[in-house]
């Protein structure tokens, strides 16, 4: 079976992501921005699939596209579009924005030019075996007695989320 992870799909997905990302910041209507963001996130999930990480792709779809973005839309839907369209942008931070974007772009270009010196953009040898057991491998990396290295980091991240949940409840509720 030929691998599906061809450069064509990479460029297609990357192009979708970039177009979606640009639409997120250029649309005046917040709901359109959110939908463009969903497109970007779905294309990103497909990129994970191309990297033979189906579990990460599935989690990306469930959490971001199906969970977080629904809650985003939930809030955005209640904004009056007419008023939002008339409102002027009040934070003028384009200078900081340009500097930050240029720095990030410079970083990407540097990494790209140094790591691909004298090499092909898409390496010939692809990892093709991991796909069938990606979920199990991630589980082993997290929880396995011998190979599990990231248990502590994982638990710390869970604790952080728990603190965020409790904080949100405390802030939203007047009387507990």
Partner 1 sequence: MHELIDYIQSYLDPRVTTTPGAAGNIFWATVYILLVFGGLSVAVIAMNWLERKILAHMQVRLGPMRVGPHGLLQPIADAIKLLLKEDIIPAEADAFIFWIAPFMVVLAAFTVFVVVPFGPTHAITDMNIGILFMLGVSSLSVLGIVMAGWASNSHYPLIGALRSSAQMVSYEVAMGLAVLSVILLTSLHGVDLGLYGIGANNPQAYGTLSMIGIVQAQQEQGVWFIFKFFPLGLIGFFIFAIAMVAETNRAPFDLPEAESELTAGFHTEYSGFRWSLFFLAEYSAMIAVSSIAVTLWLGGWLRPFPNALNGPTWDLVFSLIPGMSFLLLAAMCFYNVARMPKHPLFKIQTMGLAGFGAVLGLIGVVMFIPAVRDRVNDVFWFAAKVAGFMYLYIWYRGTFPRYRFDQLMKVGWKILLPLGLALLILTAAMGMRTELWNQFQEVVHGL
Confirm or reject binding of residue 148 to partner 1 (CB under 8 A). no
Confirm or reject binding of residue 62 to partner 1 (CB under 8 A). yes
Least gap, CB of 146 to partner 1 (angstroms): 11
Confirm or reject binding of residue 37 to partner 1 (CB under 8 A). no
Answer for which of 19, 131, 142, 148 binds partner 1 (CB under 8 A) is: 131
Confirm or reject binding of residue 51 to partner 1 (CB under 8 A). no
Confirm or reject binding of residue 43 to partner 1 (CB under 8 A). no
**Residue 165 to residue 159: CA distance in whole angstroms:** 10
Answer for which of 50, 73, 141, 142 binds partner 1 (CB under 8 A) is: 73
Confirm or reject binding of residue 65 to partner 1 (CB under 8 A). yes
Confirm or reject binding of residue 69 to partner 1 (CB under 8 A). yes
Confirm or reject binding of residue 164 to partner 1 (CB under 8 A). no
How does DSSP assign the chain, residue by residue?
---S--HHHHHHHHHHHHHHHHHHHH-SSHHHHHHHHHHHHHHHHHHHHHTT-HHHHHHHIIIIIIIIHHHHHHHHTTS-HHHHHHPPP----HHHHHHHHHHHHHHHHHHHHHHTTTS-SS-S----SGGGGHHHHHHHHHH-TTT---HHHHHHHHHHHHHHHHHHHHHH-S--
**Residues of the shown chain interacting with partner 1 in the complex, contacts defined by CB under 8 A:** 1, 29, 31-32, 35, 38, 54-55, 57-59, 61-62, 65-67, 69-71, 73-74, 77-78, 131-136, 139
């Amino acid at each position: 079976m030929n691998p599906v992870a061809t450069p064509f799909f990479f460029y297609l997905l990357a192009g979708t992501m970039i177009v979606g990302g640009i639409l997120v910041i250029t649309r005046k209507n917040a709901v359109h921005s959110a939908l463009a963001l969903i497109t970007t996130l779905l294309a990103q999930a497909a990129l994970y699939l191309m990297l033979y990480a189906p579990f990460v792709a599935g989690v990306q779809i469930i959490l971001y596209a199906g969970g977080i973005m629904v809650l985003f839309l939930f809030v955005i839907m209640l904004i009056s579009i007419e008023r939002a369209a008339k409102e002027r942008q009040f934070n003028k931070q384009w200078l900081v924005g340009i500097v930050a974007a240029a720095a990030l772009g410079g970083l990407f270009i540097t990494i790209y030019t140094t790591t691909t010196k004298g090499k092909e953009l898409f390496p010939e040898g692809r990892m093709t075996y991991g796909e069938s057991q990606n979920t199990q491998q991630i589980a082993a990396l997290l929880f396995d007695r011998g190979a599990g290295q990231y248990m502590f980091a994982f638990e710390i991240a869970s604790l952080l989320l728990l603190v965020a949940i409790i904080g949100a409840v405390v802030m939203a509720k007047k009387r507990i």
